Amino acid sequence: MTMTDTSTETDARPILERARSAMSGLTTVQAAITAVVEQLRQARASVRPEEAVVDVALEAVLDGDPVPADLADRVLQIRRSNEATLATAQILGPVERRLEERLQAVHRTRADDALTVLATELDAALTAASPVLARLGSVDDADTAITSGRVNEWKEAGHLATRYAAVRDAQRIVVAAALDPPDQARLTARVSPAIRSLVDDYGHIRQPDRHHATVGTGGSGSGEVRVGQTRIFSGRLVVDSHVDRPVRPRPWTTGDVLSDLRFVCRDDVEPWVPTINELTGARDEHQSRMQTEARAEAERRPGDDDPRLAPGRRMPPPPAALLDRLAREELGEPA
């Protein structure tokens, strides 16, 4: 069996580099920062101590020669050179900071250009993966691939899973640089836990809560997270002290790249690489819906969901006077 060529790439550069190349102005600003940093390094290295003249005089005296008459001129020359160097550094420092601000602005305003490239990369990877995974079937380890005669498919699927994971890694980095820039602008591969959760929750598939109940809990996708219990108290929505609850890993970020690829290739899943506004909008819409559902659940009274009880037999709402008194007590106000 001939191994299918799953690569449609003509550019050998890493996926992140290709994506960033679409961000207008990024390369120019990065090159300018590199040049300024090098000039600063050279300027600081060229500073000479005035005490070097002392060594000249000492060597002359020890050799039996008179003290050089131009010592003062030598000191003044070193001093003028150092002052010029320090003046250059004082100018280049603010230039570097302004360039870093410009770099952050490019990452913030041109992130969608890079994400568009990643969306194309995602489509290409998934298009190539679908027939490979179909041929691979349920094989999930190398031994089974060997015994079932699907070694080529197993290798192809592994390459495609790695390619898919690279798209997601690049996506997290691009989003982090746009929404959570580091203090040092050149640290553009930094991804905070909050950004990782944002992208993993809402940036991999559309409508993620259809496939996973714990999206948006703020956890890492596995282990334990702390979540609040919502209720109505004194007519207001409040959150009790946090409690630990185990959270299953997202089925699309399990840590097994082949398993993740298989999930996003399912017919009922719609993978995507959203723009920044689409990503934050998906998060906001999800949080708004969860808050509405939490409020409705907190306001539900005993008997509301029991059709056997007549309306008059269901729990009535608390009297307004009682709610007002409880609210005053909670706030520490006199009754």
Among residues of the chain, what percentage have pLDDT more than 90? 49
The pair of structure tokens assigned to 10 is 């003509």
Q: Which of 107, 135, 158 is the last residue of a domain?
A: 107
**Residue-wise pLDDT tens digits, 278-305:** 999 999 999 888 888 777 766 665 555 5
Calpha distance 323→232 (Å, rounded): 11
Q: Is 166 exposed, middle or buried (0-12, 13-18, 19+ CB in 10 A)?
A: middle
In 3D, which of 235, 228, 216 has the Cα closest to residue 289?
216
Note down the domain range covering 31: 24-107
> Is the residue at 306 inside a domain?
yes
Q: Which of 87, 107, 127 is the last residue of a domain?
A: 107
Q: Between these two residues, 7 and 44, which has the higher pLDDT value? A: 44
> Does pTM top 0.85 for this prediction?
no
> Is the residue at 47 inside a domain?
yes
> Is the residue at 60 inside a domain?
yes
> Is the residue at 96 inside a domain?
yes
> Is the residue at 15 inside a domain?
no
Q: Is the pLDDT reported for residue 242 higher than 70?
A: no
> Is the residue at 207 inside a domain?
no
> Is the residue at 67 inside a domain?
yes
Q: Which of 107, 137, 155 is the last residue of a domain?
A: 107
- Look at the chain and report how many structural domains it folds into: 2
Q: Is the pLDDT reported for residue 328 higher than 80?
A: no
> Is the residue at 230 inside a domain?
no
Q: Between these two residues, 281 and 53, which has the higher pLDDT value? A: 281
Q: Is the pLDDT reported for residue 4 higher than 50?
A: no
